[in-house]
């Protein structure tokens, strides 16, 4: 039975997941190596809950109660009594392996461990723990409080009770689970990123301009955002790294990252976060860069 949750990493995803768990009624410990990041996360969560109150989706008392359920800590030992750890630290395999190895020394023997990784093999991370059968992927989408889906990924050793517990929790948090096997990029990114990469090839080969490609997919395929606009939103460095994971992990040339994507990343044109990508965001309205 999952009652108390530990979240490792309080960045963009960790703070969003903490907000979701706290509004879902769970006590939680938000752990990070950086005290500064934890301070920032508290503000982000409070701001997120405040927006829900402003929209009438949450009352003031529920906001106060949710915030009271969150304890922040830079001490690993604070995870000693949690039933589930959701790891949402930096996307780096060495960092995550080290986290899981040390988490195992402080948590209860029967605590479940989950990772929010977007691309690292769940089975490989499970091997860094003393309990691969109690380990799985729990992949929230960004932003976690808004997006409905959570991908649930079994490692090769994940046992049924672990999978069932995390699935039940996902539903209790008001999310919809989709089960995925442990293959590179799971389901959403496996399908979405090659589509974006293809849009960049379409631009690279001169089939259409940035504007015509995005207009075509918005109005012709009913996508809420054009693929190049979406790429800028995700971050072009992230898009490239997912394509590299697919290309290397599946050894198939159909996942070859478009050279134009590589060039934008090399230029430091990473999309919205650097104010320039397929669009230039430095003015009033975004202007296509090609």
Q: Which residues of the shown chain bind ligand NAD in the complex (CB under 6 A)? A: 8-14, 32-34, 37, 88-91, 95, 99, 116-118, 140, 142
- Nearest CB to ligand NAD, comparing residues 48 and 202: 48
Q: Are 83 and 21 in contact (CB under 8 A)?
A: no
Q: Which residues are catalytic?
A: 118, 139, 151, 189
Q: Which residues contact 103 (CB under 8 A, 6 or more apart)?
A: 8, 76, 79, 85, 87, 113, 129
Nearer to ligand NAD by Cβ, of 117 and 165: the residue is 117
CB 3 within 8 A of CB 98: no
Ranked by CB distance to ligand NAD, the top (closest) residue is: 11
| β-strand pairing of 279-280 with 70-73 | unpaired
Q: How far is the CB of 118 from ligand NAD (least distance, A)?
A: 4
Rounded to a whole number of angstroms, the minimum distance from the CB of residue 204 to ligand NAD is 25
Q: How far is the CB of 214 from ligand NAD (least distance, A)?
A: 20
For ligand NAD, the closer of residues 12 and 274 by Cβ is 12
Rounded least distance, CB 67 to ligand NAD, Å: 19
Give 6 or 286: the residue with its C-beta nearer to ligand NAD.
6
């Amino acid at each position: 039975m999952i009652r108390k949750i530990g979240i490792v990493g309080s960045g963009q995803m960790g703070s969003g997941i903490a907000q979701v768990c706290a509004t879902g009624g769970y006590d939680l410990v938000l752990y990070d190596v950086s005290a500064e990041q934890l301070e920032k996360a508290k503000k982000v969560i409070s701001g997120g809950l405040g927006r829900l109150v402003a929209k009438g989706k949450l009352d003031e008392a529920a906001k106060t109660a949710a915030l009271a359920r969150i304890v922040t800590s830079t001490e690993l030992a604070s995870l000693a009594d949690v039933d589930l750890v959701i790891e949402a630290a930096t996307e780096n395999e060495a960092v995550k392996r080290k986290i899981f190895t040390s988490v195992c020394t402080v948590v209860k023997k029967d605590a479940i461990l989950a990772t929010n990784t977007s691309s690292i093999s769940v089975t490989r991370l499970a091997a860094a723990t003393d309990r691969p059968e109690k380990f799985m992927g729990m992949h929230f989408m960004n932003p976690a409080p808004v997006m409905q889906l959570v991908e649930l990924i079994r490692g090769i050793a994940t046992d049924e009770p672990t999978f069932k517990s995390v699935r039940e929790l996902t539903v209790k948090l008001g999310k919809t689970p989709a089960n995925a096997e442990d293959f590179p990029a799971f389901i959403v990114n496996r399908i979405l990123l090659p589509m974006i990469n293809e849009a960049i090839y379409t631009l690279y080969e001169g089939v259409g301009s940035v504007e015509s490609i995005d207009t075509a997919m918005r109005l012709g395929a009913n996508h809420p955002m054009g693929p190049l606009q979406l790429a800028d939103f995700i971050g072009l460095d992230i898009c490239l790294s997912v394509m590299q994971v697919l290309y290397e992990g599946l050894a198939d040339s159909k996942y070859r990252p478009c050279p134009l994507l590589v060039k934008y990343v090399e230029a430091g044109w990473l999309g919205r976060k650097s104010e320039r990508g397929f669009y230039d965001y430095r003015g009033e309205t975004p202007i296509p860069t090609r």
